[in-house]
Amino acid sequence: RDALRAAFEVLPAIRGTGTIDWVAVIGDARIIGLDTLVEGQGGGRLRAESLRLARDAAAGAGAEGRAITVAMHHPPLRTGIRFMDAIGLENAADLAAALETCEAPIRIVAGHVHGVYHGQLGRHPVSTAPSLCSAFALDLRQDAPVGFMTGPTGYAVFHTEEGGVWATQPLGEAGGPHGF
């Protein structure tokens, strides 16, 4: 959490201590950031207060006619990368329930899986982003090796306005798998 605070210290919504759930209005969009970190574990979970914040902030943005983006580390979808899915978001169904009453479209963006994956949470699209430091191979075999690749690395850019585009940019070549 300290690294995230340092990177986004210019956002007044980021508190100096504790969990990092936040809401910011940027242009015509409301960005809802949810803290999925479970201290000492690889997997993620949304706390009850995070789910309430998501529900209330999404409803408020929808009533204002704002675009809504929910951002979190652990995505509310399965990728097929077994060792990453095993440490994914534990309570995605709770997030779906928190967002189901919002009439406005919601985009959900996440990381964790270090690659580009698309899915749905209820009627809301979910996209994940590549990583600047490493990647994980999509290997659906039961005995797929556990480890990371040195690439391809990359980053994502998304535009929150209506009709906005979500795009990824590659940064480097791949190599691996390398054990943890």
**For 126-158, how does the pLDDT look when each residue is reduced to its tens digit (9 = 90+)?**
999 999 999 999 999 999 999 999 988 999 998
Q: How much is the pLDDT for 169?
A: 86
Rounded CA separation 37/72 (Å): 9
- Cβ atoms within 10 A of the Cβ of 121, count? 20
Can you name the residues that pair with 26 across neighbouring β-strands? 29
Give the whole-number percent of the chain exceeding pLDDT 70. 98
Q: In Å, how far from its chain's centre is CA 133? A: 17
Which two tokens mark 120?
A: 């749905």
Among residues 106, 159, 160, 151, which one has the least CA distance to residue 130?
A: 151
Compute the average pLDDT of residues 77-106: 94
Compute the average pLDDT of residues 78-90: 95
Confidence of residue 16 (pLDDT cuts 50, 70, 90): confident
Compute the average pLDDT of residues 83-94: 96
Q: How much is the pLDDT for 174?
A: 67
Q: How much is the pLDDT for 4?
A: 86
Q: What is the residue whose two structure tokens read 């390398």?
A: 178
- Over the chain, what is the mean pLDDT? 90
- Cα separations in angstroms, 109 against 146, 171, 179: 24, 20, 27
Rounded CA separation 21/32 (Å): 8
Taking the model in full, what pTM does it have?
0.89
Q: Is the pLDDT of residue 91 over 70?
A: yes
Q: Is the pLDDT of residue 111 over 90?
A: yes
The type of residue at 107 is R
| Lowest mean pLDDT across 3-7, 69-73, 115-119, 175-179 | 175-179
Q: Is the pLDDT of residue 53 over 70?
A: yes
| Long-range contacts, 39-46 (Cβ 8 Å, 24+) | 41/87, 42/87, 43/74, 43/86, 43/87, 43/88, 43/89, 43/90, 44/72, 44/73, 44/74, 44/87, 44/88, 44/89, 44/90, 44/112, 45/89, 45/90, 45/91, 46/72, 46/89, 46/91, 46/94, 46/95
